[in-house]
Amino acid sequence: MHITIRQLQVFEAVARHASYTRAAKGLHLTQPAVSMQIKQLEGSVGLPLFEQIGKRIFLTQAGEAMLRHAQTIIGHLAAAREEMDDLKGVDSGRLRISVASTVNYFATRLLARFARQHPGVKITLDVTNRETLLQNLERNLPDVVLMGAPPKGLDLQADAFMDNPLIMIAPPDHRFAKRRTIALGNLDTETFVVRESGSGTRIAMERFFNLKAFEPFATIEMTDNEAIKQSVEAGLGLAIVSIHTVELELAAKRLIKLNIKGMPIMRRWYVGHRRGKRLSPTAQAFRQFVIDEGARQAVS
Ligand code: PGA
């Protein structure tokens, strides 16, 4: 059966009006053109679709069945057109975002503001550490990622949007709490509560320790910034964390920042996506929104 959409549209109009003449008018076609389309359709189907009794035309049984299918196909086409039109706008569609767990401290605030501006967008947020996030990117799962500096080898379009200073935190009663400057070497009897390997924070910390030829006395590993903060508060040890994770605790003086020489470790947050990826208008809008928000915060 070689049936065209146009034939189905003409057929549906004739069936709806029960008239070739009225269908022709509605479609801005001549009556013979309409008859020709119906004849061709009947030819492809191999059955008559209309029968004429007196002056009126009626659908045959095959015509009734064909009409049901024609309506479904025309309905689907209209829905497809609507959905495509929606995707051309930034206020609809889906946005899949992956963020490094440390980013989550401000990512949710960013998302809340973006969602208020674009209430029709369906957002999914995946929070994971740096290593898993890179694996997700390889598998083309997220539209956009927020992370620390991406590795060189990956084919990413990545733009820095905000500073990410890493600081050393301690409980308020730490013996060095009041010291103006502390050499890392003075902390060689301390236990450090550290992130799991695969974490960007952990990589940056190890790089800093190597640079200073420093070896912590003991380490306790945790996969969660919250657990690390609570452990430090409880006196389990010291930790190096992004300043974004401890803003509230520093303000409430539940934790303090130690003034270590060479710190903070200055890192930056990046918004990125696979270079070949065709970002939807929604994803492009989010990417730009993150860059603009970063610039706004740097100024304020
Ligand atoms: P993470 O943060 O330590 O939560 O993986 C990402 C990063 O700093 O790159």
Residue 103 has pLDDT above 70, yes or no: yes
Instruction: Please tell me the predicted confidence (pLDDT) of residue 87.
Output: 80
Centre of ligand 1 to C-alpha 199, Å, is: 5
Please give the pLDDT value at position 207. Answer: 96
Residue 195: CB within 6 Å of ligand 1?
A: yes
Which among 277, 280, 276, 273 is positioned nearest to 83, based on CA atoms?
280
- Name the closest-CA residue to atom 8, ligand 1: 200
* Cβ burial 8-38 (10 Å sphere, 16+ → b, else e): bbbbbbbbebebbeebbeebebeeeebbebb
Judge contact between 130 and 178, C-beta under 8 A.
no
Q: Is the CB of 272 under 6 A from ligand 1?
A: no
Q: What's the CA gap between 68 and 61, in Å, rounded?
A: 11
Q: Does the beta carbon of 201 lie inside 6 Å of ligand 1?
A: yes
Q: What is the rounded CA–CA span in Å between residue 65 and residue 71?
A: 10
Using alpha carbons, select from 279, 276, 277 the residue that is nearest to residue 289: 279
pLDDT at 1 over 80: no
Best of 102, 132, 223, 268 to mutate for ligand 1, by most ligand atoms within 8 A of CB? Answer: 102
Same fold, 89-162+268-299 and 164-266: yes
For residue 300, pLDDT beyond 70: no
Residue 85 has what pLDDT? 81
Closest atom of ligand 1 to 133 CA is 5
Tokens 């989010």 found at: 286
Encoded amino acid at 196, one letter: E
The domain made up of 5-85 has a fold known as Arc Repressor Mutant, subunit A (1.10.10)
Half-sphere CA count of 153, side-chain side, radius 13 A: 2
CB atoms within 10 A of CB 250: 14
Q: Pseudo-torsion of CA 60, 63, 64, 65, nearest 10°?
A: 130
CA distance 3 to 39: 12
Q: Which two tokens stand for residue 201?
A: 């924070």
Pick the more confident residue, 159 or 300.
159
Residue 144 pairs with which residues in a beta bridge?
Answer: 97
pLDDT value at residue 89: 80
Question: Which of 99, 105, 128, 130 has most ligand 1 atoms within 8 Å of CB, for mutation?
Answer: 130
Q: pLDDT for 163-198, tens place per residue?
A: 999 999 999 999 999 999 999 999 999 999 999 998
**Among candidate residues 232, 205, 227, 204, the one with its CA nearest the CA of residue 216:** 205
Domain ranges of the chain: 5-85, 89-162+268-299, 164-266
Q: For 89-162+268-299, which CATH class?
A: alpha beta
What's the mean pLDDT in 244-260? 97
Q: Domain 164-266 maps to which CATH number in 3.40.50.360, 3.40.190.10, 3.20.20.70, 1.10.287.470?
A: 3.40.190.10
Q: How confident is residue 70, by pLDDT bands cut at 50, 70 and 90?
A: very high
- Rounded Cα distance, 203 and 148, in Å: 11
Residue reference for tokens 């430090």: 232
DSSP element (H, E) containing 39:
helix 31-45
Over residues 39-58, the pLDDT tens digits come to: 999 999 999 999 999 989 99
Q: Which pLDDT band holds residue 299 (cuts at 50, 70, 90)?
A: low
131, pLDDT greater than 80: yes
